[in-house]
């Protein structure tokens, strides 16, 4: 009771102490790690202090991926967005520092140029209409206020991109304006191209000394790499090796698939509703079309064309499927036809431009009216096509489509052409509108068939899938305690090594798109030799991390292929120099059991020596000599050289060197944009966290 009384007396103080303790705990969490964690989880990258928020970045990636199509990869879209954002942030920093802005007139002109060929922004004369553009903006802006903001958002993005394009162009034009080639540089270029010299030269090839006489040590390679660090910097990389366990159908699965499709033969041969039967029993839907012999697979074409009506052909195997076929109708059909058409569109079609306001009923009336005129006077077809057809690709050619084979056109159009006769004229509706069609010609009439096909995929059974899982799991467990490659060899598995995987790579050769392997390999908790099982689209991969190379310089092994020849040639050059005691080119040639050679008309612009190859250092040295003067020993690309100048042929001076200045200016201007941006990017402070999210 005494304790309780004391608590009651000092309750207010206890509450204050507890509150302070809780506040201290929360505050320490925020100060200690809260800010860093929050930023790390919400920022994809920071470029010169500008954050790229995760949510905004991911939305842009989704938009780009949709635009690339259903088979596009996330990593592909992510890299596109990354390059755009990197460019945007870096260049916006330059615009701000220079005070660059896009003027209203520039924006208006750029929008007009981009939209001028869009019918939605054209007046009745086909010219760009600023009024129509303003009406369009007003309509989508009003729609956005009711919740439908997709179109307005897309328009704002379009405007922003237009402004960025203008700013970028202005910025790089400023750079180009400050880097105009001078006439003095033009004069120098003229003499580089036209001054020439004749030389006598001696080449003592490095190949005269065997490679084994000049060994290169790892220590020397390491020292060279450090001394030339900029040339040998690498981002973090890992190496892995893996084996695959594929859920491929077994021989038993193959037999089961063949048996299952064989059970359908009797009913397939007698059914009256062929399309319904195929759709109910086949892994591909029924296709109602005519086949010529050359439309069929070569392996079965002769057999299928020889089938009696309603006989079943098969089962036959085609890659990973078993098939049965029933020929149920024959006819005579051309293998190519020539036709022309007049297209009349109507509103509501997904293929029609936004400015088409004609109703379907009015379109049909117009097409029928045109048909009646043509039937009365077939010679008017070309004129009417030019006047009325909305197929811009051929209206000026009288609607002529040329020759085409069956299946090239949409089905209703195709059926009319190949199921009617030359000279027939009619109206056909497709998802493009109404077509007034005339068949001009049909070639190579031959037998065509309608064939119904039931296809059954040969799929791995549950037993097969379980067996694959069991084998993969067993290998994974065993590989943790034994040599990976030896175990794979014992199991009859092929080991696939993959080297130099980057932190943002996604494609693993032989596996395909699989970021989970890359993420695991770069995880700080993954050690060299660790094993991981990864699910793939067709089974499992058991991967082992074999090497991890942090960001820094290339390893000795990686740099060796490049550095060893350089160091070896340096050593050979020293040995060659040490064997020479004369400064006379003839005496040196004699002492080396070699002969000198003469080459004429060498220029600075093309530092190539006939018989020796490209040797800029040798040619540059030669141009620095006087007539009759002999050089000292020169360490060239392919050997040690001596050069004697035999003749100097200087080109006459010109009154004006602007042509050569312009030539230099044009050649450098083509790469200024790229080179300037690369310089800015190399200078930028970039914290790239993409690997955390992708």
Partners of residue 403 on adjacent β-strands: 338
The last residue of a domain, from among 532, 550, 568? 550
pLDDT at 28: 42
> 575-604: per-residue pLDDT in tens?
999 999 999 999 999 999 999 999 999 999
Closest CA to 249 of 440, 467, 477: 467
My answer on whether 604 and 509 are in the same domain is no
Mean pLDDT of the chain: 89
Q: Containing domain of residue 229, as a range? A: 196-233+556-649
3-state secondary structure of 228: coil
> 189-210: per-residue pLDDT in tens?
999 999 999 999 999 999 999 9
What is the Cα–Cα distance from 553 to 56, expressed in whole angstroms? 34
State the pairing for strand pair 597-602/196-205: antiparallel
My answer on whether 225 and 256 are in the same domain is no
Least trusted range by pLDDT, from 223-227, 234-238, 519-523, 612-616: 234-238
My answer on whether 342 and 439 are in the same domain is yes
My answer on whether 437 and 369 are in the same domain is yes
pLDDT at 456: 95
pLDDT at 355: 64
Tally Cβ neighbours within 10 Å of residue 472.
Answer: 22
pLDDT at 22: 44
Q: Could you tell me what percent of the chain has a pLDDT over 90?
A: 66
My answer on whether 361 and 372 are in the same domain is yes
Strands in 446-457's sheet, in edge-to-edge order, are: 312-318, 321-333, 446-457
My answer on whether 222 and 268 are in the same domain is no
Rg over alpha carbons for the chain, rounded to the nearest Å, is: 38
**C-alpha dihedral, 304 to 307 to 309 to 313, nearest 10°:** -70
My answer on whether 351 and 274 are in the same domain is no
What is the Cα–Cα distance from 581 to 578, expressed in whole angstroms? 8
> 56-87: per-residue pLDDT in tens?
999 888 888 888 888 788 888 899 999 999 99
Partners of residue 317 on adjacent β-strands: 322
pLDDT at 91: 94
pLDDT at 127: 81
What is the Cα–Cα distance from 427 to 437, expressed in whole angstroms? 6
Does residue 34 have a pLDDT over 90? no
- Give Cα separations from 247 to 6, 36, 257, 455, 534 (angstroms): 74, 44, 16, 20, 13
pTM of the model: 0.63
On whether residue 84 sits in a domain, the answer given is no
On whether residue 24 sits in a domain, the answer given is yes
On whether residue 455 sits in a domain, the answer given is no
**C-alpha dihedral, 106 to 108 to 110 to 112, nearest 10°:** -150
Please report, for the domain that includes residue 498, its CATH number: 3.10.50
524-530 long-range Cβ contacts below 8 angstroms, 24+ apart: none
Average pLDDT, integer, range 389-402:
91
Does residue 16 have a pLDDT over 60? no
More confident residue, 453 or 69: 453
Confidence of residue 39 (pLDDT cuts 50, 70, 90): low
Average pLDDT, integer, range 654-667:
90
CB burial string 104-134: b at 16+ within 10 A, e below: eebeeebbeeebeeeeebbeeeeebbeebbe
Chain position carrying tokens 């400050």: 178
My answer on whether 201 and 222 are in the same domain is yes
On whether residue 48 sits in a domain, the answer given is no
Average pLDDT, integer, range 415-439:
94
* Overall number of domains in the chain: 5
Tokens read off for 384? 């009417």
What is the Cα–Cα distance from 415 to 413, expressed in whole angstroms? 6
Phi, psi of 610, rounded to the nearest 5 degrees: -60, 125
On whether residue 345 sits in a domain, the answer given is yes
680-687 long-range Cβ contacts below 8 angstroms, 24+ apart: 680/90, 680/91, 680/94, 681/86, 681/90, 684/47, 684/48, 684/90, 685/46, 685/47, 685/48, 685/49, 686/45, 686/46, 686/47, 686/48, 686/86, 687/45, 687/46, 687/47
pLDDT at 436: 96
My answer on whether 240 and 212 are in the same domain is no
Average pLDDT, integer, range 94-107:
90
**CB within 8 Å of 179: residues ≥ 6 apart:** 668, 672
H and E: helices and strands count for the chain = 25, 24
What is the Cα–Cα distance from 240 to 495, expressed in whole angstroms? 10
pLDDT at 434: 95
pLDDT at 7: 36
My answer on whether 320 and 366 are in the same domain is no
**CB within 8 Å of 176: residues ≥ 6 apart:** 669, 672
pLDDT at 384: 93
Average pLDDT, integer, range 17-27:
43
3-state secondary structure of 233: strand
My answer on whether 520 and 533 are in the same domain is yes
My answer on whether 413 and 364 are in the same domain is yes
Average pLDDT, integer, range 665-673:
85
On whether residue 632 sits in a domain, the answer given is yes
What is the Cα–Cα distance from 186 to 439, expressed in whole angstroms? 65
pLDDT at 273: 94
């Amino acid at each position: 009771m005494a304790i309780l009384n004391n608590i009651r007396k000092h309750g207010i103080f206890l509450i204050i102490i507890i509150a302070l303790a809780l506040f201290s705990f929360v505050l320490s969490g925020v100060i200690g790690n809260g800010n860093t964690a929050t930023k790390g989880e919400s920022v994809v990258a920071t470029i010169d202090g500008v954050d790229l928020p995760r949510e905004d970045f991911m939305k842009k990636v989704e938009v780009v991926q949709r635009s690339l199509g259903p088979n596009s990869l996330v990593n592909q879209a992510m890299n596109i967005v990354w390059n755009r954002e990197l460019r945007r942030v870096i260049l916006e920093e330059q615009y701000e520092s220079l005070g660059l802005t896009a003027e209203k007139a520039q924006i208006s002109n750029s929008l007009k140029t981009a939209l001028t060929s869009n019918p939605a922004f054209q007046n009745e004369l086909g010219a760009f209409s600023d009024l129509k553009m303003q009406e369009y903006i007003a309509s989508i802006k009003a729609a956005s206020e009711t919740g439908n903001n997709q179109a307005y958002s897309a328009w704002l993005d379009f405007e922003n991109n237009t402004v960025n394009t203008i700013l970028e162009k202005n910025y790089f034009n400023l750079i180009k304006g400050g880097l105009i080639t001078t006439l003095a540089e033009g004069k120098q270029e003229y003499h580089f191209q036209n001054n020439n010299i004749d030389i006598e030269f001696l080449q003592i090839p490095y190949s005269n000394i065997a490679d084994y006489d000049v060994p290169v040590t790892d220590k020397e390679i390491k020292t060279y790499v450090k001394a030339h660090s900029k040339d040998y910097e690498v981002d973090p990389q890992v190496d892995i090796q893996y084996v695959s366990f594929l859920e491929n159908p077994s021989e038993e699965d193959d037999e089961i698939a063949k048996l299952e499709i064989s059970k359908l033969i009797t009913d397939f041969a007698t059914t009256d509703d062929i399309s319904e039967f195929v759709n109910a029993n086949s892994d591909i839907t029924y296709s109602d079309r005519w086949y010529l012999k050359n439309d069929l697979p070569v392996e079965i074409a002769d057999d299928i064309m020889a089938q009696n009506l309603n006989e079943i052909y098969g089962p036959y195997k085609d890659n990973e499927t078993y098939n049965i076929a029933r020929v149920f109708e024959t006819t005579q059909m051309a293998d190519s036809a020539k036709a022309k058409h007049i297209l009349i569109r109507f509103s509501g079609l997904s293929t029609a431009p936004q400015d088409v306001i004609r109703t379907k009923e009015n379109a049909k009336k117009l097409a029928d009216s045109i048909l009646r005129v043509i039937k009365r006077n077939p010679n008017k077809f070309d004129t009417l096509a030019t006047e009325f057809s909305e197929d811009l690709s051929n209206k000026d050619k009288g609607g002529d489509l040329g020759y085409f084979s069956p299946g090239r056109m949409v089905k209703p159009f195709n059926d009319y052409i190949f199921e009617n006769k030359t000279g027939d004229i009619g109206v056909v509706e497709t998802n493009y509108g109404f077509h007034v069609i005339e068949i001009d010609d049909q070639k190579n009439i031959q037998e065509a068939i309608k064939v119904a096909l039931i296809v059954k995929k040969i799929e791995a059974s549950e037993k097969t899938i379980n067996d694959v899982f069991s084998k993969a799991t067993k290998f994974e467990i065993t590989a943790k305690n034994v040599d990976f490659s030896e175990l794979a060899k014992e199991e009859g598995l092929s080991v696939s090594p993959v080297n130099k995987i980057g932190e943002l790579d996604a494609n693993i050769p032989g596996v395909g798109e699989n970021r989970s392997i890359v993420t695991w390999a770069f995880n700080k908790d993954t050690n060299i030799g660790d094993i991981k099982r990864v699910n793939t689209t067709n089974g499992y991969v058991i991967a082992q991390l074999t090497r991890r190379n942090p960001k820094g310089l290339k390893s000795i092994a990686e740099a060796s292929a490049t550095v060893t020849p350089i160091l070896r040639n340096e050593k050979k050059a020293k040995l060659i120099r040490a064997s020479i005691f004369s400064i006379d080119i003839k005496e040196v040639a004699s002492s080396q059991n070699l002969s000198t050679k003469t080459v004429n008309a060498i220029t600075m612009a093309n530092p190539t020596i006939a018989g020796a190859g490209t040797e800029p250092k040798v040619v540059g040295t030669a141009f620095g000599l006087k007539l009759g003067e002999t050089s000292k020993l020169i360490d060239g690309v392919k050997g040690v050289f001596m050069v004697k100048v035999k003749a100097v042929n200087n080109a006459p001076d010109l009154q004006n060197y602007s042509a050569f200045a312009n030539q230099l200016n044009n050649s450098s201007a083509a790469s200024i944009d790229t080179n300037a941006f690369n310089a800015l990017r190399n200078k930028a402070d970039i914290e790239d966290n993409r690997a955390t999210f992708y």
